Structure 1
Amino acid sequence: MSTPCCVSQLACCCGTAACSCCCNCCPKIKQSTGTRCMYALYFLLVTVICGIMMSPTVEQAMKDNIPFYSELCEKVNAGENCKTLVGYSAVYKMCFGMACFFFFFCILTLRIKNSIGCRAAIHNGFWLLKFIVLAGCCTGAFFIPQEETFLEVWRYIGAAGGFFFQLIQLMLLVQFAHRWNTNWTSGVKYNRMWYAALALVTLILFSIAVGAVIFMGVYYTHPEACLLNKIFLGINGGLCLIISMLAISPCIQKLQPKSGLLQPGVISVYVMYLTFSAFSSKPKEMIEIDGQNKTVCVFPFNSGSESDKKIVTSLGAVILLACILYSCLTSTSKRSSAALRVYRTSEPETERARCCFCFGDDTDDYEEDNTTSGQSVVYDEEDGTIYGYSFFHFVFFLGSLYVMMTVTNWFHYDNHRIEQLLEGSWSVFWVKMVSCWVCLFLYMMTLVAPLMCPQRFEA
Structure 2
Amino acid sequence: MCTPPCCVSQLACCCGTAACSCCCNCCPKIKQSTGTRIMYALYFLLVTIVCVIMMSPTVEEQFKTHIPLYKELCEKLNPGDKCKTLVGYTAVYKVCFGMSCFFLFFSFFTFRVNNSDGCRAAVHNGFWLLKFIALGACCVGAFFIPQEEIFLEVWRYVGTACASIFLLIQLMTLVEFAHRWNTNWSSGVKYSRFWYAALAFVTLTLFTLAVGAVVFMGVYYTHPKACLHNKIFLGINGSLCFIVSMLAISPCIQKLQPTSGLLQPGVISVYVMYLTFSAFSSKPIEMVKINDVNTTVCVFPFNSGLESDKKIVTALGTVILFGCILYSCLTSTTRRNSAALRVCRNSEPETERARCCFCFGDDTDDYDEERTGSGQNVVYDEKEATIYSYSYFHFVFFLGSLYVMMTVTNWFNYKNHEIEKFLDGSWDVYWLKMACSWVCLIIYMMTLIAPMICPKRFEA
Confirm or deny a common fold (TM above 0.5): yes
Residue aligned with 1:371, SS:
coil
Match in the other structure for 1:59 = 60
Contact 2:300 2:310 in 1 (8 A): no
Write the mapping of 1:193-342 to structure 2, written as runs, cut at 5 A: 193-342=194-343
Structure 1 residue 335: deviation in Å?
2.1
Residue aligned with 2:410, SS:
coil
Match in the other structure for 1:190 = 191
Partners of 1:316 and 1:5 in 2: CA distance:
39
Match in the other structure for 2:9 = 8
Partners of 1:356 and 1:40 in 2: CA distance:
19
Amino acid across the alignment from 1:207: T
Describe the shift of the 1:372–1:267 C-alpha distance in structure 2 as closer, same or farther (beyond 3 A): same
Match in the other structure for 1:163 = 164
Contact 1:70 1:80 in 2 (8 A): no
Residue aligned with 1:368, SS:
strand
Describe the shift of the 1:10–1:345 C-alpha distance in structure 2 as closer, same or farther (beyond 3 A): same
Which deviates more from structure 2 when the two are superposed, residues 102-111 or residues 69-78?
69-78
Partners of 2:347 and 2:190 in 1: CA distance:
17
Describe the shift of the 1:173–1:230 C-alpha distance in structure 2 as closer, same or farther (beyond 3 A): same
Structure 1 residue 366: deviation in Å?
2.6
Deviations 1:360-392 (A, max 9, x none): 234425342142653332222111111111111
Contact 1:283 1:425 in 2 (8 A): yes
Contact 1:335 1:362 in 2 (8 A): no
- Between the aligned residues of both structures, percent identity stands at 78
Contact 2:23 2:374 in 1 (8 A): yes
Describe the shift of the 1:304–1:402 C-alpha distance in structure 2 as closer, same or farther (beyond 3 A): farther
Amino acid across the alignment from 1:450: P
Deviations 1:373-417 (A, max 9, x none): 533322221111111111110110011011000010000001001
- Find out whether 1:414 has 2:431 as its counterpart: no
Contact 1:221 1:230 in 2 (8 A): yes
Match in the other structure for 1:366 = 367
Describe the shift of the 1:450–1:321 C-alpha distance in structure 2 as closer, same or farther (beyond 3 A): same
Contact 1:54 1:86 in 2 (8 A): yes
Partners of 1:216 and 1:76 in 2: CA distance:
46
Describe the shift of the 1:81–1:22 C-alpha distance in structure 2 as closer, same or farther (beyond 3 A): farther
Structure 1 residue 2: deviation in Å?
5.1
Amino acid across the alignment from 2:141: G
Describe the shift of the 1:172–1:86 C-alpha distance in structure 2 as closer, same or farther (beyond 3 A): same
What TM-score results when the alignment is normalised by the length of structure 1? Answer: 0.93
Describe the shift of the 1:143–1:349 C-alpha distance in structure 2 as closer, same or farther (beyond 3 A): closer
Contact 2:410 2:425 in 1 (8 A): no
Structure 1 residue 342: deviation in Å?
2.4
Structure 1 residue 75: deviation in Å?
7.0
Partners of 2:82 and 2:7 in 1: CA distance:
40
Which deviates more from structure 2 when the two are superposed, residues 367-376 or residues 15-24?
367-376
Match in the other structure for 1:94 = 95
Contact 1:221 1:297 in 2 (8 A): yes
Structure 1 residue 293: deviation in Å?
0.3
Structure 1 residue 36: deviation in Å?
1.0
Partners of 2:152 and 2:325 in 1: CA distance:
23
Residue aligned with 1:391, SS:
helix
Partners of 2:175 and 2:382 in 1: CA distance:
28
Match in the other structure for 1:106 = 107
Structure 1 residue 200: deviation in Å?
3.4
Match in the other structure for 1:384 = 385
Partners of 1:308 and 1:209 in 2: CA distance:
21
Describe the shift of the 1:263–1:42 C-alpha distance in structure 2 as closer, same or farther (beyond 3 A): same
Contact 2:333 2:389 in 1 (8 A): yes
Partners of 1:362 and 1:159 in 2: CA distance:
37
Residue aligned with 2:191, SS:
coil
Partners of 2:348 and 2:205 in 1: CA distance:
25
Amino acid across the alignment from 1:38: M
Residue aligned with 2:20, SS:
coil
Partners of 2:197 and 2:127 in 1: CA distance:
50
Match in the other structure for 1:132 = 133
Describe the shift of the 1:159–1:73 C-alpha distance in structure 2 as closer, same or farther (beyond 3 A): closer
Partners of 2:222 and 2:64 in 1: CA distance:
44
Contact 1:18 1:34 in 2 (8 A): yes
Q: How many residues align?
A: 459
Contact 1:219 1:300 in 2 (8 A): yes
Structure 1 residue 92: deviation in Å?
0.8
Describe the shift of the 1:285–1:76 C-alpha distance in structure 2 as closer, same or farther (beyond 3 A): closer
Describe the shift of the 1:226–1:157 C-alpha distance in structure 2 as closer, same or farther (beyond 3 A): same
Amino acid across the alignment from 1:114: N
Structure 1 residue 51: deviation in Å?
1.3
Deviations 1:246-303 (A, max 9, x none): 2122222221122122211221121111111111111111011111100111121222
Unaligned ranges ≥5, structure 1: none
| RMSD of aligned Cα (Å) | 2.3
Structure 1 residue 438: deviation in Å?
0.4
Partners of 1:127 and 1:358 in 2: CA distance:
25
Write the mapping of 1:13-92 to structure 2, written as runs, cut at 5 A: 13-71=14-72, 73=74, 83-92=84-93
Contact 2:99 2:139 in 1 (8 A): yes
Deviations 1:154-185 (A, max 9, x none): 11111111111111121111111111222222
Match in the other structure for 2:438 = 437
Which deviates more from structure 2 when the two are superposed, residues 194-203 or residues 254-263?
194-203
Contact 1:182 1:347 in 2 (8 A): no
Which deviates more from structure 2 when the two are superposed, residues 12-21 or residues 445-454?
12-21
Contact 2:77 2:85 in 1 (8 A): no
Structure 1 residue 189: deviation in Å?
2.3
Unaligned ranges ≥5, structure 2: none
Contact 1:69 1:81 in 2 (8 A): no
Match in the other structure for 2:404 = 403
Partners of 1:443 and 1:296 in 2: CA distance:
33
